[in-house]
Amino acid sequence: MTAVGETTSAAPAARKSGFRPDVQGLRAIAVAFVVLYHSGVSWLSGGFVGVDVFFVISGFLITTHLLESLESTGRIAFGSFYAKRARRILPASLLVGILTVLVAWVWMPPLLMKEVARGAVAAALYVPNMLFAVEGTDYLAETSPSVFQHYWSLGIEEQFYLFWPAVLALGFWLCRRSERRLLLLAAALVLASFVLCVSLMNVSQPWVFFSLPTRAWELGAGALAAFLMRSGARWLRAPRTGVLSWVGLGLLLVVGLVYTETTPFPGYTAALPVLATVLLIIGGAAPGRLNANGLLSRRPFQFVGAISYSLYLVHWPLQVIPQVAVGQDDPLPLWLRLGLGAVSVPLAWLLFRFVERPVISWPTLRSRSQLWTGAAALATSAVLIATAGGSYYLTSATGETATDQAAGEETQLEKDPAGTGYVPENLTPALEEAEADNPTIYTDDCHRSQDSTDSSGCQVGENEDAPVVFLFGDSHAASWYPALAELAEQGRIRLDTNTKSSCPSVEVPLQLEGVPYTECDTWRDGVIDRINSEQPDLVLLANYGAVRPDLRSGGDFASRWQDGTASTIEAIDGPTVDVLADVPDQGETSAVCLSNHLEDTAQCAVDRAEAFDPAVTEAERAAAESAGARYVDLTPYLCNDRMCPPIIGNVLVYRDGHHLTTRFSRLMAEPLGEEIEASLE
């Protein structure tokens, strides 16, 4: 690396940027990975790494241009740089954002429009990645993603573009105009970001996934490739260096085929797709025919690469909105998802042809002060915010109860409930309040968070003569707290709560966000030790018995669950143990579905045969019986012989897809109390 003003033996092509067909072809591979992955192509289980490829490419191209500016003028024209970036990125993204809000308003359940509006505002303010980090979004999960979730990567790039030019300009000045020293500074920053990324994976995977400080190293890797390409090193000009592009291409394909949603990501595993992309960039610049340029320069790759940005923007809403419209419990068939992915190609071409490409060179903006570009960007962002706010307001104004029915009957709990066929005026909790209808165990800090190992429990009830009941399990156990608290307030029991998020009392080793959930194991062992020490009258186990993709090792889930349940029961020495059957799984959030079917709630009821996994249910029952525990099944109060209704009387049963509302849980106090008394006889 040479300082500005020094002579160099590097060929001009090594120091000057220009159109590279191989990089365009690499864009095509990246966006194809993402689109096929989101379209449900199971064999491309690691297709999500396409975004990482985009990061490296962006870092390489941007840094190349910035270094050229520093070399030729000794400075960076910040106004011109940001104006060009705004014309390149914002018109297409903001237009797609506006159209997405409008289509969502027409097709998506009204209760989801608040989430849509929140995502749109975050996108308009260029911080969608921060929104998803705060919400703890799992990008690789398959449940109800936001229609703006794909904007997270735009947020990363926009924030990188905001800071990186200043970092290079300041560093160039501090390094006395030496690219060699500037390279060392950039490398140190990239290394720091990578270390932060890897070290925080055990703390918060969503923040690592969505935040700039933990993702900047990927763009920085592209930046280091830009420094390297300008170094004039002889080996870069050797034809055999082109083989690196084939190595990179092969490595990228392996990652796409081998990585899955259970792969800890980003962390150290992101280094492989990043390295593969760097190798492709370096090898593609080598002379001769040993590189992969002959493949990547072919017309199909060039076409898809040209529209890759627009394709990335439009493909995601096409996948998400139809799925949400029909309901998450009715997955779209693969052929339809692939068809939606295919439809996104011509739509992306239209967006590229009539929006993305024309605005980049729009004379009205290019010939005027950069302030005009900034003003246009702010105005368009304001339109997106206004559209989001207006759609949410109009949706809220339509109401959340059936129009031709008034109040529902006050709930009288009984077996084989028929359910209420409409959303009544006196529904409790209201649909818009369902999500937040958590038991007070959460606000009282008695329900342990995922990072807690506190096994001390919380006590409710003042009748010293009442039997002591330990509630032990995950959030499904917590949803039974209102019923048990009611019994404690009546003096029938003394309650000791021991619940923890995503941590069943069943002894199975789990992963949480891609890393071993050791806090769960520690907490579970601590609770069992306290049970054996304090010897309560009854231990009530309650857990979410759904098939878990986060088990640390494979095997049949039902068998693992049976063994784990039996192991926990056998570890409890002395007290009586009851295993409480799990509640029906609705498959999707009841309130969301009901907001779209106010007059016909049967559309949101789940068939009883589909509400439970028979293998897991029988495994849990068998474990209880074999280990000397009692299996308590209150399903008859939640389901009739055909279905499990979402509304019984005037009470909403579920706050999401598989947790009871506080109100309905409290109604279950009497039948649960009868079962407890029977166990203690």
What was the pLDDT predicted at 10?
Answer: 36
- Tell me the residue type at 373: T
- In terms of Cα–Cα distance, which of 185, 147, 529, 177 is closest to 317? 147
Question: Are 389 and 509 in the same domain?
Answer: no
pLDDT at position 15, please? 59
Q: How many CB atoms lie within 10 A of CB 381?
A: 19
Given 377, 394, 411, which residue is the final one in a domain?
Answer: 394
Q: Which two tokens stand for residue 48?
A: 């999500």
Q: Is 536 found in the same domain as 463?
A: yes
Q: Is residue 656, in this structure, part of any structural domain at all?
A: no
Distance CA 47, CA 30 (A): 8
Instruction: Report yes or no: 237 and 10 within 8 Å, Cβ to Cβ.
Output: no
Q: What is the mean pLDDT of each run of 10 residues along the chain (681 residues)?
A: 35 61 97 97 96 98 96 91 91 96 94 93 95 73 76 96 96 93 96 96 87 97 96 92 96 96 90 98 94 95 97 97 86 95 97 92 73 88 95 77 58 86 91 90 90 91 94 95 96 96 90 78 96 96 78 73 94 95 91 90 92 92 94 96 94 94 95 94 81
- pLDDT value, residue 60: 98
Q: What is the pLDDT of residue 510?
A: 84
Distance CA 248, CA 188 (A): 24
Query: Is residue 567, in this structure, part of any structural domain at all?
Result: yes
Closest CA to 495 of 503, 504, 507, 483: 483
Number of domains making up the chain: 2
- pLDDT at residue 329, rounded to an integer: 74
CA distance 71 to 661: 64
Together in a domain, 41 and 189: yes
**pLDDT value, residue 511:** 76
Residues 383 and 458 in one domain: no
For residues 71 and 152, state if they share a domain.
yes
Q: What pLDDT was estimated at residue 587?
A: 84
Residue 251: give the domain boundaries. 23-394
- Asked if 470 and 390 sit in the same domain, the reply is no
Q: What is the pLDDT of residue 139?
A: 53
Q: Where among 394, 412, 427 does a domain terminate? A: 394
The CATH number given to whatever domain includes residue 533 is 3.40.50.2300
* Residue 271 resides in a domain: yes
3-class DSSP assignment, residue 489: helix
Q: Domain check: are 124 and 182 in the same one?
A: yes
**Residue 643 within a domain:** no
Residue 514 CB partners (closer than 8 Å, separation 6+): 201, 205, 262, 263, 264, 265, 267
Judge if 289 and 161 occupy the same domain. yes
38 and 150 inside one domain:
yes
d(C-alpha 35, C-alpha 453), whole Å:
40
Last residue in a domain, options 394, 410, 429? 394
| 651 in any annotated domain | no
- pTM, 2 dp: 0.85
Q: List, in order, residues 6 or more apart from 363 with CB less than 8 Å away.
A: none
The answer on 165 and 269 residing in a single domain is: yes
Are residues 83 and 163 located together in one domain of the fold?
Answer: yes
Does residue 353 sit in the same domain as residue 489? no
600: in domain: no
Residue bearing tokens 């749109």: 120
